[in-house]
C-alpha cells in the first residue's frame, strides 16, 4: 500500500497555496505510507535557468563549496539554495547536461533527485509530516505537483527508494502498487544502457518510460505501452512540465479518485485526501477507468482534460 | 466526525438494542473516513451526510444506512440484512460477499461489484465496472446501465439483470431467458430500488454450469 496525491491548478490565484494544499493532502495519506514521502513541485518558469535538485546524506560537507565548485567547472554562475539534505542548483539554461557531468566529477556521492526547467523533487525517509517540515514544502508555490507516501513492499526504505522518480527532464513518476516483472525488465533496460540505481520496482517503471521516450515515444505512447510491458499492479501518476497524467493497470485494484472544479484537477488514492480542497462539495468526483491514459495540461488550456494516445 | 472518534461512533451505534427508542441517527462531516457505521445490529436508520472511505456499512444487520454522497471500496461488505442506500457512486467491490439485505447504488459502481455475493440483492441505477458478480453464489444483481468486462465470471446460482450493454461475459456466464417468475422478481427488485426502469428492458445472465465443479464426477 502507498498513497498518491496530485494537484493541477487551473486558477493561477491558487498558485501561492499549491505547497500547503499538496502538503495537507500528503499528510492525510500518512497511514497508507508512513515509511517515506516525496513531492515533485513545478514552479514558475524562469527562461534563463534550469534546475538540478540534489541530495546528500552529509549535506553540510557536500554542499559547502558546491556552488563555487560547480560555477568554476561550468564557467558560469550557478546559484544554490540549500534545504536540509537537498539543494536546488540554478544552472544557466542550456548547461544542464554539462552540469550533471561536472557534478559527478566534483562529488560522485551527491545524488540527483530531479533535473529540468521547473521541477524540484524532495524526498526522504520518515513520516510525511516530518518530511514536509524539513523541506518547508508548505511555503512552496507552483502550477502543479505530485506527492507520494510510501509503505515499502519491494525494496529497502531508503531515500533513493522513495518516490517521485525523475524519468526525464521535468518528468517524474509516483506509483502505488507492485511490479512483478521488474527484475527481468531491469536487466533488459541495463543492457540497453539505462542507468538504474536501486532494487526498487518503481525505479524500473520510471526507467522503462525514460527508455521508451529515448526511443522516440511520446509520454502518452510510453504510458500506453507500459500497459503491455509492465506486469503487476499499478496506479501511476506522472508529472510533466505542463501537467500530469494518470494510468491504472487493467485490473485496477489500486485505488484512485479524481476531483475537478473550475479551479483545479486533484488526484488522491482516497477521497479523504481531497476533502479539504476548496469547493470539493461541488466538484465532479470520479474514478479513472482501468487501462486508460488521462492527461491534464497547461499547454492546451482550452481542453484541460485531453486524453492521450 | 470532526469531533467524535470513529470507534466511539461505531460503539454507540452498535450498542443500540433491537427495541431502542432512538431509531434515527445522523453522521455529519464524514470526510471520507473508513468503516463508518459497520457491524450494526438493530432496526435503526443512519444517515451519513457526505462521502465516505472504505467499508461503509460493512457487516450490516437490520439497520438502514443512507449515504448522501459517494462511498469508497467495499461498501456493505458481507452485509447480512437491512438496507444500504448510496445516493452517489460506489468504488470497488460494493456488496462483496453479502449474505442478505439490499444494497441500492443510485450512481455507478466500479469494478468487482457483488464479487462472491451470497444472497444479497444489489440494485445499481448506473453502470458497473469489470469483473462484477465474480464467483457470485446467490442473490440478485440489477444493473440499470451497462456492465464492464467479464460480467459474472465463474458464477454459481446468482441472477444478474442488465438493462444496457455488457462489454463481455466472464467464463461460464451466459444470457438466459426471462421467464415470468424472473419478470416478477425483477419488478419487485426495481420497486425496492426506486428505479423507474421497466423489467422488459432487461436481459438475464447466469451460470451455464459447465465449469469443473459443476460436474458431479469431480465431486469427492
Q: What pTM was computed for the model?
A: 0.92
| Closest Cβ opposite residue A255 in set B52, B73, B130 | B73
* Banded model confidence at residue B119, pLDDT cuts 50, 70, 90: very high
Q: How far is A301 from chain B (nearest CA, A)?
A: 28
Q: Do B32 and A271 touch (CB under 8 A)?
A: yes
Q: Domain for residue A307, yes or no?
A: no
Per-residue pLDDT reduced to its tens digit, A22-74: 999 999 999 999 999 999 999 999 999 999 999 999 999 999 999 999 999 99
What is the CATH number for A284?
A: 3.60.20.10
* Mean pLDDT on B53-71: 97
Asked if residue A300 has pLDDT above 70, the reply is no
Residues A109 and A226 in one domain: no
Q: What is the mean pLDDT of chain B?
A: 95
Mean of pLDDT values over A188-212 = 93
Q: Most A CBs within 10 Å: which of B36, B68, B130, B167, as the mutation test of the A interface?
A: B130
Which residues touch B199 (CB under 8 Å, ≥6 apart)?
B178, B183, B186, B187, B190
Beta carbons of B92 and A290 less than 8 Å apart: no
Domain count, chain A: 2
Q: Which residues of B touch A290 (CB under 8 A)?
A: 111, 129-130
pLDDT value of residue B220 = 72
* Per-residue pLDDT band at A180 (split at 50, 70, 90): very high
State the average pLDDT over residues A155-160: 93
Q: Is residue A305 part of a domain?
A: no
Nearest CA in chain A to B107: A286
pLDDT of residue A13: 97
Full residue range of the structural domain in which residue A213 is found: 2-44+118-300
By Cβ distance, the residue of A251, A270, A285 closest to B53 is A270
**Taking the alpha carbons of A218, A304, A236, A291 in that order, is the dihedral positive or negative?**
negative
In a domain, A309, yes or no: no
Judging contacts by C-beta atoms under 8 Å, the chain B residues touching residue A271 are 32, 51-53, 70, 72
| DSSP one-letter string for A211-247 | HHHHTT--HHHHHHHHHHH--EEEEEEEE-SSEEEEE
Domain-embedded: residue A16: yes
pLDDT(B70) > 60? yes
Mean pLDDT for B12-33 is 88
Whole-number pLDDT of residue A154: 84
Question: Is residue B39 scored above 90 in pLDDT?
Answer: yes
The C-alpha cell that represents A188 in the structure block: 533488459
pLDDT at A224: 93
Together in a domain, A157 and A198: yes
For residue A167, pLDDT over 90 is answered with no
Length of chain B as a residue count: 220
What domains lie within chain B, and their CATH numbers?
Answer: 6-211 (2.160.20.60)
**CATH code at A76?**
3.30.70.3400
**What is the spatial distance between Cα B98 and Cα B100, in angstroms, rounded to a whole number?**
6
User: Final residue of a domain: which of A67, A102, A117?
Assistant: A117
Please indicate, yes or no, whether residues A152 and A64 belong to a single structural domain of this protein. Answer: no
Residue B12 CA to residue B17 CA, distance in Å, equals 10
For chain A, what percent of residues have pLDDT higher than 90?
90
Please say which residue of A86, A117, A148 terminates a domain: A117
Across the range A84-95, mean pLDDT stands at 97
Q: Among A82, A117, A152, which residue terminates a domain?
A: A117
∠ Cα A115 A118 A120 (to 5°): 60
In this structure, are A53 and A34 located in the same domain?
no
- Rounded mean pLDDT of B36-56? 96
Residues of A in contact with B91 (CB under 8 A): 255, 257, 287
pLDDT in tens, B140-177: 999 999 999 999 999 999 999 999 999 999 999 999 99
- For the cut 90, the answer to whether the pLDDT of residue A309 exceeds it is no
By Cβ distance, the residue of B32, B52, B110 closest to A287 is B110
Could you tell me if residue A129 is inside a domain?
A: yes
pLDDT tens digit sequence for B71-81: 999 999 999 99
Strands, E, within A93-242: which ranges?
111-116, 119-125, 144-150, 165-168, 171-179, 232-239
Predicted pLDDT of residue A305: 45
- Chain B interface residues facing chain A, Cβ-Cβ under 8 Å? 31-33, 51-54, 70, 72-73, 88-89, 91-92, 110-111, 129-130
Cβ contact A272–B54 (<8 Å): no
pLDDT in tens, A17-29: 999 999 999 999 9
Chain A residue numbers with beta carbons less than 8 Å from the beta carbon of B92 are 252-253, 255
How many angstroms separate the CA of residue A271 from the nearest CA in chain B? Answer: 6
- Closest-CA residue of A relative to B111 is A252
Residue B21 reports pLDDT greater than 80: no
In terms of domains, do A159 and A258 share one?
A: yes
A2 a catalytic residue: yes
Asked if residue A155 belongs to a domain, the reply is: yes
Nearest CA in chain B to A31: B34
Q: Mean pLDDT, chain A, as a whole number?
A: 94
Annotated catalytic residue within A2, A18, A66, A266? A2
pLDDT above 60 for A302:
no
Amino acid at each position: 500500500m502507498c498513497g498518491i496525491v496530485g494537484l493541477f491548478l487551473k486558477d493561477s490565484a491558487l498558485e501561492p497555496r499549491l505547497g500547503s494544499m499538496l502538503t495537507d493532502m500528503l499528510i492525510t495519506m500518512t497511514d497508507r505510507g508512513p515509511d517515506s514521502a516525496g513531492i515533485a513541485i513545478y514552479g514558475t518558469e524562469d527562461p534563463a535557468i534550469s534546475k538540478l535538485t540534489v541530495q546528500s546524506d552529509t549535506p553540510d560537507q557536500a554542499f559547502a563549496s558546491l556552488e563555487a565548485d560547480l560555477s568554476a567547472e561550468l564557467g558560469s554562475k550557478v546559484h544554490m539554495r540549500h534545504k536540509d539534505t537537498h539543494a536546488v542548483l540554478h544552472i544557466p539554461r542550456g548547461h544542464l547536461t554539462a552540469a550533471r557531468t561536472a557534478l559527478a566529477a566534483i562529488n560522485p556521492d551527491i545524488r540527483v533527485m530531479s533535473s529540468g526547467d521547473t521541477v524540484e523533487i524532495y524526498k526522504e525517509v520518515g513520516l510525511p509530516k516530518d518530511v514536509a517540515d524539513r523541506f518547508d514544502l508548505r511555503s512552496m508555490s507552483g502550477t502543479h505537483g505530485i506527492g507520494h507516501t510510501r509503505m515499502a513492499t519491494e525494496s529497502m526504505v531508503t531515500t533513493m527508494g522513495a518516490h517521485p522518480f525523475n524519468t526525464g527532464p521535468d518528468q517524474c513518476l509516483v506509483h502505488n502498487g507492485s511490479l512483478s516483472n521488474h527484475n527481468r525488465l531491469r536487466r533488459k533496460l541495463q543492457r540497453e544502457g539505462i542507468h538504474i540505481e536501486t532494487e526498487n520496482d518503481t525505479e524500473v517503471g520510471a526507467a522503462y518510460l525514460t527508455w521508451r521516450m529515448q526511443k522516440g515515444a511520446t509520454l502518452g505512447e510510453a504510458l500506453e505501452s507500459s500497459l503491455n510491458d509492465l506486469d503487476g499492479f499499478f496506479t501511476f501518476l506522472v508529472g510533466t512540465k505542463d501537467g500530469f497524467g494518470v494510468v491504472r493497470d487493467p485490473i485496477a485494484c489500486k485505488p484512485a479518485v479524481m476531483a475537478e472544479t473550475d479551479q483545479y484537477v486533484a488526484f488522491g488514492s482516497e477521497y479523504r485526501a481531497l476533502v479539504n480542497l476548496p469547493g470539493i462539495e461541488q466538484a465532479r468526483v470520479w474514478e479513472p477507468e482501468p487501462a486508460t491514459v488521462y492527461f491534464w495540461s497547461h499547454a492546451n488550456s482550452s481542453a484541460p482534460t485531453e486524453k492521450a494516445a | 466526525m470532526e469531533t467524535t472518534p470513529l470507534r466511539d461512533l461505531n460503539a454507540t451505534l452498535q450498542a443500540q438494542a433491537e427495541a431502542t427508542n432512538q431509531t434515527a441517527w445522523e453522521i455529519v462531516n464524514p470526510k471520507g473516513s473508513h468503516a463508518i457505521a459497520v457491524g450494526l445490529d438493530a432496526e435503526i436508520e443512519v444517515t451519513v451526510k457526505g462521502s465516505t472511505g472504505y467499508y461503509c456499512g460493512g457487516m450490516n444487520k437490520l439497520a438502514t444506512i443512507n449515504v448522501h454522497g459517494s462511498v469508497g471500496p467495499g461498501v456493505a461488505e458481507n452485509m447480512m440484512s437491512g438496507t444500504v442506500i448510496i445516493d452517489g457512486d460506489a468504488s470497488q467491490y460494493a456488496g462483496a460477499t453479502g449474505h442478505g439485505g439490499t444494497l441500492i447504488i443510485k450512481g455507478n459502481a466500479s469494478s468487482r461489484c457483488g464479487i462472491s455475493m451470497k444472497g444479497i440483492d444489489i440494485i445499481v441505477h448506473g453502470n458497473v465496472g469489470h469483473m462484477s458478480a465474480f464467483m457470485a453464489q446467490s442473490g440478485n444483481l440489477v444493473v440499470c446501465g451497462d456492465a464492464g468486462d467479464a460480467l459474472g465470471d465463474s458464477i454459481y446460482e446468482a441472477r444478474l439483470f442488465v438493462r444496457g450493454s455488457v462489454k463481455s461475459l466472464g467464463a461460464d456466464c451466459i444470457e438466459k431467458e426471462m421467464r415470468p417468475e424472473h419478470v416478477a422478481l425483477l419488478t419487485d427488485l426495481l420497486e425496492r430500488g426506486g428505479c423507474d426502469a421497466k423489467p422488459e428492458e432487461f436481459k438475464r445472465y447466469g451460470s451455464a454450469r459447465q465449469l469443473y465443479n459443476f460436474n458431479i464426477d469431480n465431486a469427492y
